[in-house]
Chain A
Amino acid sequence: MAETMRPAETTELGVGPLVPPQLPLAGEEDFEIQLESLNQWQLAWRRFKRHRLALIGSVAFGLIVLIAIVAPILWPYDVTDIPGAKTYGGDAPGLAPLSRLFGTDFGGRSVLQQVLVGARISVEVGVFTMLIAASLGVAVGSIAGYFGGMIDGFLMRFVDLLLAIPFLFVILVAARFFGGGDVVTLILIFGLLSWPGLARLVRAMFLSLREMDFVQAARAVGVSDLRIAFRHILPNALGPIVVSATLIMANAIVLEAFVSFLNFGIRATDVSWGNALSNSQGYLLNGNWWWPFFPGMAIAISVISVNFMGDGLRDALDPRARE
């Protein structure tokens, strides 16, 4: 408590010199002091803003999400509509020259369009995989860490088991055997297999946090288990969880591209960055570099921006990192 009123902090806030507070006695009026109080999120946002690369990353990823949402509105043509063909240019004179910006593939389809429309699947896979894996990981990790004992032993042996099997191997086998080219199935496979690392992390955080004094205090005044776990412990473990979640998201985007690249992922008729790379592979030796280059750059940019975002969040959400 006393720490938050240090003079150094108040000058940093741009507030005038601190009036020495009189200790409030029981029953007396509160002392008046002009302090702009910032809650946890405002403090985190201030730290996040200072991390320039993280800001750039968030803006870039925001743009990619925006493109994913509006791409079909911007570009209301089927991917099989070929630039220069009558139906195409006739409908959209403004977009016809743009469509050749990144070149065209062997069938004459616009690479730019594939990059824009392909963002949908990557964003979907990244975000929903992250949501599934994060909820599972947090649930399993917090149950194991909070209750300990038999439940912990059982859950953690299961996590050990999942971590011992090479992740990429299982992903590929599952995508091939159960995938069927469907985005939803692919997201489920990625999500259901990506959580063990996060669960282990959450459990470790819970193990150390549940011994803290504030948890003992909450328990002493009779707060329920569920409320202690979610209102008292979880917010303190948020930083590492968020960072780990962004890593899962970046990983899922690359995984989708790779699995689709091997033709075990998204249906070949759907537009995704991985499919664009897959189609281009055979033509690379002919010198058609633009075809794989732009979808690959799109993957790289989304992954880099998500990683930078995670790095900034790590600094921002660490309550001890105050400068």
Chain B
Amino acid sequence: MSKFIIRRALGLIPLLFGIVIISFVLMKAAPGGPAQQFQRNPRVTQTQIDEWLKRWCLSADASPAAAVKEFAGWFGIYNCNTESIFSEKGGLNFLPSSLGGGGNGIIHGDFGYSIDAGRPVLEMITERMPATLMLTSIALILWVSIAILLGVVAAIKRYSFFDQAVTFFSYVFYSLPIFWLGLMMIFLFAVTLRILPPQGIVTPRAWPPFNTDVYWAAFGRNPIGAIIDIGRHLILPVTVLVLANVAGDSRFVRASMLDALNQDFVRTARAKGLPNRTVVMKHAFRNAMLPVVTNVALEIPFLFSGAIVTETIFSWTGMGLLFIDGVGARDYFLLMGILLITSAIIVIFNLVADVVYAVVDPRIRYD
């Protein structure tokens, strides 16, 4: 087992390196380029620009050698201040700082500065993370539970009216464009009925912007009011996410449950005269949940990457909206940082899904 995990983890390294190269090439190939983008921001002074350009080995030089240097600097192998692969301390630059390495590059956790905001990318991402995690984790828990419930009942009552209704609505909600669904729900509940807020995480004017120091101070003074306020803002985006995702997952659970119900051991259990409830819940259900658990593990990266579509519609200032704003502003460092972090999370959770599957299913052997 541990051998299997180690082998798979080692396999991740070339994959992660490939992701790093692809995101760099994507940004490098884009017209304009970071140096030009920096100049467009009026809030940034020329000395700051020069300092940044120097730090990231950015130059107007378009030669392949300059691009390689830029990549190596961004990755952290090359030190742009000493202009060599050695850091200021004299050690190889890719080593951790404590071992005499440098501090630049993504392998040292330095994702650079946002061109638009002029702040470290990592700081911006961690600041937005709580809002996204709050939205996505509530939605994920809800849609997985609902999907399991619907899928299992639909499988037990196969071809019944309930099963066909679930199938039909799954198709409809699976096909509806989620952003349009969001717009229509805003219109219905916020504009026409006026019972829910249309956008945002907190009510503007009544509360300071979410996840700022001022906000947490206000939260401390009136926690119940704050939670109610956020809760009201959560209802619409969570509903949209649940409706959009419960469809696919409930089909998955139904298929898995049907598969389990047709197994020989279920027939044996029935032949032994066990009550239907025991057969379904103990024999079939537990086996049907094996692939579902893996599927949920594969959905976890979504918690961090954020729901781009939903966050855009509901102006939910999380990771997804940060990314969209970054795309709009052509904020290279920010985009590269988000792409890298979310890809890494996806790759890691693919491994976790494999491991979880091996743990919950004793039949699987890895050697």
Binding site for B on A (CB under 8 A): 157, 160-161, 164-166, 168-170, 172-174, 176-178, 250, 254, 257-258, 261-264, 277, 280-281, 284-285, 287, 289, 292-293, 296, 299-300, 303-304, 307-308, 311
Contact across chains for A277 and B180 when beta carbons are under 8 A apart: yes
On chain A, the residues within 8 Å of B174 by CB distance are 307
Complex Cα distance, B198 from A285, in Å, reads 9
Nearest B residue to A303 by beta-carbon distance? B175
Partner of B342, one of A166, A280, A296: A166
Contact across chains for B327 and A173 when beta carbons are under 8 A apart: yes
Binary interface encoding of chain B residues 16-39 relative to chain A, with 1 for a CB under 8 A from any of its CBs, else 0: 001100110011011100000000
Contact across chains for B179 and A261 when beta carbons are under 8 A apart: yes
Complex Cα distance, B120 from A176, in Å, reads 23
Partner of B26, one of A170, A250, A292, A304: A170
Q: Does B346 contact A (CB under 8 A)?
A: yes
Complex Cα distance, B350 from A258, in Å, reads 27
Among A173, A174, A263, the one with the most B-chain Cβ atoms within 10 Å of its Cβ is A173
Contact across chains for A165 and B172 when beta carbons are under 8 A apart: no
Q: Does B328 contact A (CB under 8 A)?
A: yes
Contact across chains for A258 and B338 when beta carbons are under 8 A apart: no
Query: Which one, B65-73, B97-105, B181-189, is touching chain A?
Result: B181-189
Contact across chains for A307 and B171 when beta carbons are under 8 A apart: yes
Contact across chains for A169 and B14 when beta carbons are under 8 A apart: no
Contact across chains for A173 and B26 when beta carbons are under 8 A apart: yes
Complex Cα distance, B177 from A285, in Å, reads 20
Contact across chains for B308 and A168 when beta carbons are under 8 A apart: yes
On chain A, the residues within 8 Å of B179 by CB distance are 257-258, 261, 277
On chain A, the residues within 8 Å of B31 by CB distance are 177-178
Partner of A169, one of B15, B172, B190, B338: B338
Among B179, B198, B347, the one with the most A-chain Cβ atoms within 10 Å of its Cβ is B179
Contact across chains for A284 and B26 when beta carbons are under 8 A apart: no
Binary interface encoding of chain B residues 162-201 relative to chain A, with 1 for a CB under 8 A from any of its CBs, else 0: 0000000001101111011001101100111000001000
Contact across chains for A304 and B171 when beta carbons are under 8 A apart: yes
Contact across chains for A174 and B183 when beta carbons are under 8 A apart: no
Contact across chains for A165 and B180 when beta carbons are under 8 A apart: no
On chain B, the residues within 8 Å of A293 by CB distance are 184
